[in-house]
Amino acid sequence: MEPTAASHDLAASPARPRSLVPWRLLALFYDFWPVVALWMLVSTAFTVGFFLAGHRSRENIAPFSALQWLLWLCCWIVAGIYATVSWRRGGQTLGMRPWRLHLTGARGEVPTWPALWRRYAVGTVSLLAGGLGFWWAFVDRERLTWHDRLSGTRLERREKRPR
């Protein structure tokens, strides 16, 4: 059977990359657990500090107080350190490993620290917007999320290594 012009055009055009959104969400779910453990450590330090500062009653840190906002900021920074150090050291967080997801720069290089922090910050905004930046990958021509595009990074799913 002779190839038609239409089948020849399909073979010549590169395949559209996969969005990886389901894999990204699974990795986020896995990464949620070590991040919660880190948040618990930070919260414990704040609670002990609050107690030692003279609040020896059964009071908690007041909701929406400056101290609580500082606690939230510290938790966000600790989660960012976990993510950016993991991405920088091996291209993966713990949650990305089982799904063989690997983060690189746009040309395959190790991303810079500013690019990784930009990725983390934009990813946070994306999650706060109901995951809109993740869902964007379904319509993007290169299947990139907001944080991929704005940080100049790419997420790829690698093949299984033979044993």
d(CA 84, CA 91): 9
d(CA 113, CA 65): 31
Residues of the chain with pLDDT under 50: 1, 5-13
The three-state secondary structure class of 104 is strand
Element of type H or E holding 73: helix 66-90
pLDDT of the residue at 16: 58
Cβ contacts of residue 23 below 8 Å, gap of 6+? Answer: 99, 101, 157
Cβ contacts of residue 16 below 8 Å, gap of 6+? Answer: 143
Other CB atoms within a 10 A radius of the CB of residue 137 amount to 21
Assigned token pair, 38: 């880190």
d(CA 98, CA 31): 11
pTM of whole model > 0.85?
Answer: no
pLDDT of the residue at 54: 74
Cα-flanking dihedrals φ and ψ of residue 94, to 5°? -60, -40
pLDDT of the residue at 7: 45
The residue type at 15 = A
pLDDT of the residue at 148: 96
Beta bridge mates, 104: 154
